């Protein structure tokens, strides 16, 4: 089988996976810097998990965290602390070390989940990345209903 023939089915499978993820995506917060972000979303009830679409560069050690507060109206429902490096599964992972400068990129399901009743919600998210020579290209947070 030629490389072209092998490449085509792989691209097709990846596209199917991404379309499947997008159907269950309830909200996405585009993040390119440290800070606080907000979103609103409608949830059909049940589990809510969190993915990160992550692309960051740093030297040495790094500490990253999403602190997610979920509200229904004015009432705070839950607070979650999610580590983008604490993942259940990851896709499209790439790690490149350029003389001590590490570039890390992946799409991952974090070890972070909650259960919500059906309703309209808002979320406040604090993203923090502490380390040397940190450059955040993308740290998108994705709110997703797991497939059943």
* DSSP secondary structure letters along 130-142: EEEEEEEEEEEEE
CB 93 within 8 A of CB 110: no
Element (H, E) at 88: strand 87-98
Complete DSSP assignment for 42-85: EE-SEEEEEEEEEEEEEEEEEEEEEEEEEEETTEEEEEEEE-TT
Question: For domain 3-144, is the CATH number 2.60.120?
Answer: yes
- Cα dist from 93 to 29, 32, 53, 84, 145, whole Å: 20, 19, 10, 13, 22
Query: Could you list the pLDDT tens digit for every one of the 148 residues in the chain?
Result: 444 444 455 444 444 444 444 458 999 999 999 999 999 999 999 999 999 999 999 998 999 999 999 999 999 999 999 999 988 777 778 878 888 899 999 999 999 999 999 999 999 999 999 999 999 999 999 999 987 6
Give me the pLDDT at residue 118, please: 95
Distance CA 94, CA 72 (A): 37
Torsion sign over Cα 82, 110, 120, 36: positive
The structure's pTM equals 0.80
Q: Domain residues of the chain, as ranges?
A: 3-144
Q: What angle do CA 134, 140, 143 make, to 5 degrees?
A: 145
Q: Note whether 112 and 50 are within 8 A (CB).
A: yes
């Amino acid at each position: 089988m030629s490389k072209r023939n092998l490449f085509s089915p792989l691209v097709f499978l990846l596209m199917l996976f991404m379309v499947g993820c997008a159907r269950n995506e309830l909200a996405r917060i585009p993040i390119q810097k440290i800070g606080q972000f907000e979103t609103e979303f409608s949830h059909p009830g049940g589990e809510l998990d969190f993915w990160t679409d992550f692309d960051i560069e740093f030297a040495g050690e790094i500490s990253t965290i999403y602190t997610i507060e979920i509200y229904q109206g004015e009432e705070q429902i839950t607070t979650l602390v999610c580590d983008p490096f604490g993942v259940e599964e990851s896709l499209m992972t790439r790690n490149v070390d350029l003389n001590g400068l590490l570039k890390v990129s992946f799409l991952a399901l974090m070890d972070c989940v909650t259960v919500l009743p059906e309703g309209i919600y808002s979320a406040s998210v604090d993203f923090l990345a502490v380390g040397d020579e940190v450059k955040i290209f993308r740290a998108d947070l994705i709110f997703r209903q797991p497939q059943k």
